[in-house]
Amino acid sequence: MAELPIITFPDDNLRIISKEITVFDSNVKTLINDMLETMYKMNAIGLAAPQVGCNERIIVVDISKEKNKPFYLINPEVIHSSGGIKFPDRCLSLPGIYGDVRRPERLKIKYNDLFGNQLKLEAEEIMASVIHHEIDHLNGVLFIDYLLAG
């Protein structure tokens, strides 16, 4: 595994719509492992591939205190969202910036696993917020966009 350099604002790579993964090979697995290592090294709870300069639809998340519940989502897509809840937000790509962002309280997501199988996941509260933040990265959206929008 290798730690990857984090791309920071205003790098154009953060504003690109990332590409769907269609080939589920060992490159995808390597990227996910490297992203997890990078996330843990940076003491973050989530990371999206564009943040390491790779414009592909992959996110990794671990909100556990012990940092022992990693998971990854390939081609994640929100199929249902409800409610709204504000959490303090921050981002490795926006060092030193903090702000409260309102996001859905509950999310239903479909995604692929490493073998290309399509799975579904339901998340709520902080988990929903983190996943929503990371999926935003795949669409070129940053949390400061919400702050600017009021």
91 binds Zn ion (CB under 5 A): yes
Structural contact between residues 52 and 4, judged by C-beta atoms closer than 8 angstroms: yes
CA angle (123 as vertex; 133, 43 as ends), nearest 5: 50
61 binds Zn ion (CB under 5 A): no
Is residue 56 annotated as part of the catalytic site, yes or no? Answer: no
β pairing state of 71-82 and 106-112:
antiparallel
Both structure tokens of 24: 């589920």
**Which CB sits closer to Zn ion, 86 or 120?**
86
**Which CB sits closer to Zn ion, 24 or 94?**
94
**Which CB sits closer to Zn ion, 3 or 24?**
3
107 binds Zn ion (CB under 5 A): no
Residue 102 phi/psi, 5° resolution?
Answer: -90, 125
The position carrying tokens 């669409």 is 139
101 binds Zn ion (CB under 5 A): no
The residues that touch Zn ion, with contacts defined as CB under 5 A, are 91
Question: Active-site positions?
Answer: 134
